[in-house]
Amino acid sequence: MNITQMSCPMPQLDFEVITLGHGSGGILTNKLLESGVFDLLKNPLLDQKHDGAIFRLDGQLAFSTDSYVISPIFFPNSNIGELAINGTVNDLSMCGAIPKYLSLSFIIEEGLTMKEFWEILVAIKFTAEKAGVQIVTGDTKVVERGKGDKIFINTSGIGVIHPKANINIKNVKTGDKIIISGHIATHGIAIMSVREGLEFETSIESDTQHLNFVIKELLDEFGNNIHLLRDPTRGGVATVLNEIARDAKLGCDIIQSQIPVLEEVEGACELLGLDPLYVANEGVFMAIVAAEVADNILKKLKSIPNFEHSACIGEVVAEHPKQVVLKSKIGGKRVVNMLVGEQLPRIC
Amino acid sequence: MNITQMSCPMPQLDFEVITLGHGSGGILTNKLLESGVFDLLKNPLLDQKHDGAIFRLDGQLAFSTDSYVISPIFFPNSNIGELAINGTVNDLSMCGAIPKYLSLSFIIEEGLTMKEFWEILVAIKFTAEKAGVQIVTGDTKVVERGKGDKIFINTSGIGVIHPKANINIKNVKTGDKIIISGHIATHGIAIMSVREGLEFETSIESDTQHLNFVIKELLDEFGNNIHLLRDPTRGGVATVLNEIARDAKLGCDIIQSQIPVLEEVEGACELLGLDPLYVANEGVFMAIVAAEVADNILKKLKSIPNFEHSACIGEVVAEHPKQVVLKSKIGGKRVVNMLVGEQLPRIC
């Protein structure tokens, strides 16, 4: 989403930066809560003024949590607020769930300006609305300068499992196709380009987006032919495939020429000495699907805006169990291992 | 709980401190996850290896979140791990819920030793078991030295509302009694004494404990005669009473001589220039209850271990709406305002 196009006028405040007192639980905390700042996120559940939110949800539930520590907190076209909503919405989606309710918890380093905080809140508001989820409970803590890094955000979320979903590593079997929903490595390179001050001919923007609607459409139509869903965030596509191979005790064969990567991202990866297979994504998912429906799934995906670049990149095989093997563009084969060490710290 | 008496042998590891790589999502993250360290928390839901946990819960649900940034992370008889479990269990309890499932998310500053992390995990394990809740999903992030402070923990939780509970600020009415479940200000003073290097004749320990079982017993017996529950953490008893008075648009009268405070805590408060009414608690709750059952609730509470010092400290009145008035030990009356600024930063 082009977060920078979303704006809301900030309420008039008599303070410009967040201080330790805003995390005290006392009058300054209440002043912050009542300043109009949090009115952005208003909804009946959040307004219950309990220590938590109360609601009813029927069916199988999914519950997920993630803390976001990305640096810098503002990056091309987006910020940590959008990432924190999309990330947890996507984790729930990967369970086969329809995300419903999110919690939102801030750990702020004193000195964060209200302008920065407001921008992040605006991104949170619009992203949650766009993804159709409600923020129903929250928490704000403040730590001293030098004991945090501007802002960390935790979002946890609850969703209802889609009635047709049966997402389970145990369903992955030989012959299953491996589908990726778009260009890989874009998020990681967008962040690196800001950090390293790189300039490319076209600006590379994070791919962060919520995946819940597209996943719902796929589950509506293809149900339990979708065996597994994963979003390749930290550690990238290579790490997710290694985890799948390890847990399914099967092999994964992938074909380099089939893997969609934006030309400028590929160029940046070469410049930075990074393999796009290990670079983080925030708006892409991988699906392991029954071979007989793979073409139809791909056709469907390609018809949905933002997923036109979906591709089948390989398949699950009985050979070389627990290993991922890449057929390179020049025809050779090599084993793709899990990411060793830390390639891009604090990418999400 | 005496956390220091709980111990588990730490698995043999070939690393002694946590580094950025342990948060990469790659091989080091997997090494940490599979080192046996997280086996401590094993349970069938956590082991699903989804991006989230999947389960069924019927009835009205409560959902709550809190990030714990307490400093120091180890304090007399307890640590941040125990606090993070009890805190969210208690927030759910204050909604009138039976806590069931917790998420657990770490933001670790690189350099935290595995020994420290292990001690915290052991506290988490035993506290969750004791409180009867399961940790079902989690996340671990690592930030650079100087960008965090050893460890921050977020726990979010889901519980099922007790069928007899009807906790709502709208139920608070004139004549209701204000009950407190034990000595106040103990947690805050325990932390301050460590920070300031104070020594008292007897060591002051944090009061952190889970309140879910006692709340369940009260709800079983007194149901909707319990109008409101709150745990006076940050900002203390004074802040909670001010919030109640403000939101109920009624007054609160409290009697200083009725408020239970340990003698050594009172002494420390005098020494440090703190008013115990503003000091944080982690194992105490306040209940606003119908006058006709107040005596029975108090009798019941006093019969339960750890709640023998419960007391009725005042009542809700029609006079001075939105104000809290204290009748002091020497007979005078004064308005008790909400905490201004930050008295004790990072107390939870």
Bridge partners (DSSP) of residue A104 are A138, A155
- B138 in helix, strand or coil? strand
Please give the backbone phi and psi of residue B156, each rounded to the nearest 5 degrees, phi first: -120, 155
Task: List for chain B the helix, strand, coil content (%; round to 5).
Answer: 35, 25, 40
User: Which residue among B28, B103, B144 places its CB closest to the CB of A156?
Assistant: B103
B284 part of a folded domain: yes
B345 part of a folded domain: no
Quick: pLDDT tens for A275-306. Answer: 999 999 999 999 999 999 999 999 999 999 99
Quick: pLDDT tens for B106-132. Answer: 999 999 999 999 999 999 999 999 999
B46 & B123 share domain: yes
- B319 in helix, strand or coil? coil
What is the Cα Rg of chain B in Å? 21
Quick: pLDDT tens for B132-159. Answer: 999 999 999 999 999 999 999 999 999 9
CB contact, 8 Å: B163 with chain A? no
The span from the CA of B322 to the CA of B148, in Å, is 39
CB contact, 8 Å: A216 with chain B? no
What's the pLDDT band for B339 if we cut at 50, 70, 90? confident
Tokens of B45: 């839901």
A183 & A329 share domain: yes
- B28 in helix, strand or coil? helix
pLDDT at residue A31 greater than cutoff 90: no
B109 & B180 share domain: no
pLDDT at residue B43 greater than cutoff 70: yes
Tell me what pLDDT residue A122 has.
95
**Cis status, amide bond into A72, omega within 30 of 0:** yes
B215 part of a folded domain: yes
What's the pLDDT band for B50 if we cut at 50, 70, 90? confident
A108 part of a folded domain: yes
User: Which of B40, B35, B23 has its CA nearest to residue B108?
Assistant: B23
B193 part of a folded domain: yes
Give every CB contact of residue B50 below 8 A, 6+ residues apart in sequence: A62, A94, A95, A167
CB contact, 8 Å: B139 with chain A? yes
Residue A95 distance to chain B (closest CA, Å) = 6
User: Which of A276, A281, A285, A289 has its CA nearest to residue A307?
Assistant: A285
- For residues B283 and B167, is the Cβ–Cβ distance under 8 A? no
CB contact under 8 A, A23 and B141: no
B237 & B146 share domain: no
In CATH, what number is assigned to the domain containing residue A212? 3.90.650.10
Give every CB contact of residue B322 below 8 A, 6+ residues apart in sequence: B245, B246, B249, B250, B251
B199 & B57 share domain: no
pLDDT at residue B261 greater than cutoff 90: yes
Please list every residue in chain B whose beta carbon sits closer than 8 Å to the beta carbon of residue A97: 52, 54
Tokens of A190: 């967008």
B120 & B68 share domain: yes
pTM of the model: 0.96
Residue A319 distance to chain B (closest CA, Å) = 22
User: Domain ends where: A115, A134, A161?
Assistant: A161
User: Which residue among A28, A51, A95 places its CB closest to the CB of B341?
Assistant: A28
- For residues B206 and B191, is the Cβ–Cβ distance under 8 A? yes
Quick: pLDDT tens for B62-105. Answer: 999 999 999 999 998 899 999 999 999 999 999 999 999 999 99
A345 part of a folded domain: no
Give every CB contact of residue A187 below 8 A, 6+ residues apart in sequence: A206, A207, A208, A279, A280, A281, A282, A283, A347, A348
**What is the SS3 string spanning A186-216?**
HHHHHHHHHHCCCCCCCCCCCCCCCCHHHHH
Structural domain count of chain A: 2
Q: Mean pLDDT of all residues in chain A? A: 93
Tokens of B14: 């070939």
Residue A341 distance to chain B (closest CA, Å) = 5
pLDDT at residue B2 greater than cutoff 70: no
CB contact, 8 Å: A35 with chain B? no
- For residues A49 and B169, is the Cβ–Cβ distance under 8 A? yes
Q: Of residues A21 and B317, which shows the higher confidence score?
A: B317
Please list every residue in chain A whose beta carbon sits closer than 8 Å to the beta carbon of residue B52: 62-65, 91-92, 94-95, 97, 157, 159
B135 & B50 share domain: yes
Q: Mean pLDDT of all residues in chain B? A: 93
Tell me what pLDDT residue A33 has.
82
User: Domain ends where: A121, A138, A161?
Assistant: A161
**What is the SS3 string spanning B249-288?**
CCEEEEEHHHCCCCHHHHHHHHHHCCCHHHCCCCCCCEEE
The span from the CA of A235 to the CA of A274, in Å, is 12
A247 & A308 share domain: yes
- For residues A211 and A89, is the Cβ–Cβ distance under 8 A? yes
Q: Which residue of A has its CA nearest to B24?
A: A342
CB contact, 8 Å: A278 with chain B? yes
What's the pLDDT band for B1 if we cut at 50, 70, 90? low
Residue to mutate among A32, A110, A147, with most B CBs inside 10 A, is A147
CB contact, 8 Å: B258 with chain A? no
pLDDT at residue B49 greater than cutoff 60: yes
Q: How many CB pairs under 8 A join A and B?
A: 268
A217 & A294 share domain: yes
CB contact under 8 A, B56 and A59: yes
What's the pLDDT band for A14 if we cut at 50, 70, 90? confident
Domain of B306, in residue numbers = 169-336
Distance between the two ends of chain B, CA-based, in angstroms? 17
Mean pLDDT of B163-185: 97
A198 & A71 share domain: no
Quickly tell me which residue has 């495939």 as its tokens. Answer: A241
B346 part of a folded domain: no
CA A212 to chain centre: 11
CB contact, 8 Å: B339 with chain A? yes
User: Domain ends where: B138, B161, B184?
Assistant: B161
The torsion defined by the Cα of A224, A228, A232 and A233, in degrees rounded to 10, comes to 80
A127 & A189 share domain: no
Query: Could you count the other beta carbons within 10 Å of the beta carbon of residue A205?
Result: 16
CB contact, 8 Å: B117 with chain A? no
Query: Could you count the other beta carbons within 10 Å of the beta carbon of residue A12?
Result: 7
Bridge partners (DSSP) of residue A97 are A161
B139 & B191 share domain: no
Residue A119 distance to chain B (closest CA, Å) = 22
Quickly tell me which residue has 């910020």 as its tokens. Answer: A79
Quick: pLDDT tens for A106-162. Answer: 999 999 999 999 999 999 999 999 999 999 999 999 999 999 999 999 999 999 999
In CATH, what number is assigned to the domain containing residue A36? 3.30.1330.10
Tell me what pLDDT residue A345 has.
87
CB contact under 8 A, A55 and B69: no
Bridge partners (DSSP) of residue A179 are A287, A312
CB contact under 8 A, B67 and A139: yes
Tell me what pLDDT residue B294 has.
98
User: Which residue among B21, B25, B161 places its CB closest to the CB of A54?
Assistant: B161
The span from the CA of A259 to the CA of A314, in Å, is 9
Please list every residue in chain B whose beta carbon sits closer than 8 Å to the beta carbon of residue A235: 24-26, 29
Tell me what pLDDT residue A2 has.
59
- B147 in helix, strand or coil? coil
Q: Which residue of B has its CA nearest to A138?
A: B65
pLDDT at residue A198 greater than cutoff 80: no
The torsion defined by the Cα of B89, B92, B97 and B99, in degrees rounded to 10, comes to -30
A57 part of a folded domain: yes
